[in-house]
Amino acid sequence: MTTQLISTPTPTRTYPLVEFFHSLQGEGAFSGVNAFFIRLAGCTVGCPWCDQKETWSAKRSPRVALADITQLAADARPGIVVVTGGEPLMHDLDPLAQSLHQHNLRCHLETSGAYPISGTWDWITLSPKSFKPPLSNNYAQIQELKVIIAHPDDFQWAEAQAAQVAPEIPKYLQPEWSQPQSQTWIFDYILQNPQWRLSLQTHKYLGVR
C-alpha cells in the first residue's frame, strides 16, 4: 500500500502548526539543551496514552508559511530546533529542513518512523510505537532510539526495536507519564540490561513547556 504524504507546492509551502515555543529539550540525549520546538499537526499512530491528542487532526491547526516558521526559529537563536508532532513525517519535510539549515540552525527530528523520512537532519530520534511500527528503511537513519514504557510487556517491544539499530546507537527507555510505576520497572530493567539508558521528561518535573 502506498503511503500518501500531506504536501503543498514548495513556492507556497505551508505546514499545519499546532504550536511553537522556546524552552529546553526535556528528553533523551540532548536533555537540558536550549531548544526551539516546532510542533506540526497530523498523526495516525494513535497512542492511547498520547499527551498531545490535539495534534492528531491536521485540519484543526492553522497552516503557517514556511518562511514565517523559519523566521520564528531563527529569531529565538536556539541551540537546536526540534521538529515534532503529532507525526511530522506525515508531511514532506525537505523544504522545512532545508530552510532551517539555510539559517544555520541545527535541526532535530522526533518521529515514530511510521512514514518515510524526508528532510536532512542533524539528529533523528526514533520513538517507535507498536500501534503503527516504523518502516524498515528508517532504522538505519536514526541517531537515537527512545521507547516509551507503559506496561511491562513493552520491554519485549523495546528489545525488538533495539535489534533493528546499530549497537552504538544510544537506546533510551522513557516512563509513560501517567503510569508512575513505569519508572520503577525501567530502573530495575536497566540494572539488569546496561545497554539501555533512562530518559525522563524533565520539563514536566520542572513545570515548563
Lowest mean pLDDT across 50-64, 101-115, 125-139 = 50-64
| Residue 55: predicted pLDDT | 73
Query: pLDDT at residue 7 above 80?
Result: no
* Mean pLDDT (the chain, rounded): 91
- 10 Å Cβ neighbour count for 197? 17
**H helix or E strand, kind and range, residue 209:** none
User: Rounded to whole angstroms, what are the CA distances from 95 to 8, 65, 115, 135?
Assistant: 10, 11, 17, 22
Contact criterion met (CB below 8 Å) for 97 and 111: no
pTM, two decimals, is 0.91
pLDDT (average), residues 108-122: 97
| Residue 137: predicted pLDDT | 97
For residue range 21-45, list pLDDT tens digits in order.
999 999 999 999 999 999 999 988 8
**The three cell numbers locating residue 104:** 544555520
